[in-house]
Structure 1
Amino acid sequence: MSTMATSGTAQPQKISVLFVCLGNICRSTMAEGVFRSLVKDKSSPYYNLIDKVDSCGTGGYHTGDEPDDRTMSTLADNGITNYVHAARRLRDSDFRDFDYIFAMDNGNLMDLERWKDRGKKSSSSKAQVMLFGEFSGTGRKEVVQDPYYVGRDAFEKAFEQCKRFSTNFLQQTFPDVDT
């Protein structure tokens, strides 16, 4: 974690995070909603450490759509009621604009790596592209399975994973923050 001096005191540098799945209506929006709930409240110890949080899809199937109703109801059932998002597709600029880009599964990760490596974009990229499940806390990488065709229980599992991964990521990235 890099730091920058502010008034003689080293402060952690703000970071930006992008969550990516295929269509940007289930998993990546779930992750964004959960992550925002942990960092964007003024009482959060991470409030001043996160610059930007967003989500998108590798495909443009749902561009402009709101998140799946089951995503929104799962978030609401867990106390997250202020999340608003319109689906969008991944952009070349995302690799320059975000510090971390988290894929929900291995297919998304491969798509992100191919996208990043096309043309000259990789030389201007600052993003660390990785599987979100690297922060599982279990010692092994996990994937967030697409719950779209599975049902409500799969949305609940995705929520649990997103909360656990987000918490672990924040604790590992900002180890000196009192939580």
Structure 2
Amino acid sequence: MAPIGDRQVSVLFVCLGNICRSPMAEGVFRHLTDFDRPDQDPRIKHVDSCGTGAYHNGDSPDSRTMSVLEDHGITEDYYQHAARKFHASDFTKFDYIFAMDKDNQSYLDRERGRLIRKGDLDEAKAGKVELWGKYGGRNNEEVIDPYYGARNGFEVAYEQMVRFTNGFMKQLGKEDS
């Protein structure tokens, strides 16, 4: 598959602790775009995830996240992750910075604005901060944090990640045509 135009994008998924929602989004996105595989979607150049908090730095994803991913064919042989905190340099490393909920989006928007006002970030070169649910077809849907709930919350999050990834890739195709 040849790229539509020459545009390649990088995407970053952001939640609070980087052990549930954002690594699930990253795993699903990598899987659906065949990232780091021979049939990789040529529009994607880099994929990562992080958290706005440093609560779990270096930790693996929540076992329920990995269990749900594995149930859908995304195994540790293909996807491994260690949690990390969002860094200001991420604004220039990524074209799209997707927040899982409005609280994390607000944090990212505030941080982006603060860095621009300070002169530490060139607005023209800064990644676009958006709610990941913008691409789900349901009016800026949030991904509810399943951490304190049962496994079914992780299944709901998985379904959202698939829908949002498909919506984003469809929109990306429209932008490139």
Please indicate, yes or no, whether the TM-score normalized by the shorter chain is above 0.5: yes
Match runs of 1:17-166 below 5 Å: 17-39=11-33, 40=35, 41-44=37-40, 47-81=41-75, 82-118=78-114, 119-124=118-123, 125-138=125-138, 140-166=139-165
For residues 131-176 of structure 1, what are the alpha-carbon distances to aligned partners after superposition, in whole Å with 9 as ceiling and x for unaligned? Answer: 00000123x1100000000110000000000110011000111139
Give the direction of change, closer, same or farther, for the CA distance of 1:157–1:121 in structure 2 (3 Å limit): farther
Question: 1:105: Cα distance to partner?
Answer: 0.3
Gaps of 5+ in 1: 1-8
Gaps of 5+ in 2: none
Give the Cα separation in 2 of the matches to 1:15 and 1:137: 21
Give the Cα separation in 2 of the matches to 1:131 and 1:63: 23
TM-score, length of structure 1 as denominator length:
0.87
Give the direction of change, closer, same or farther, for the CA distance of 1:99–1:67 in structure 2 (3 Å limit): same
Give the Cα separation in 2 of the matches to 1:42 and 1:105: 33
Q: Determine if contact 2:4/2:173 at 8 Å carries over to the other structure.
A: no
- Number of the residue aligned with 1:13: 7
Q: Determine if contact 1:12/1:174 at 8 Å carries over to the other structure.
A: no
Q: Tell me the amino acid that sits aligned with residue 161 of structure 1.
A: Q
Give the Cα separation in 2 of the matches to 1:176 and 1:132: 17
Give the Cα separation in 2 of the matches to 1:10 and 1:70: 36
Aligned length in residues = 167
CA RMSD of aligned residues (A): 1.9
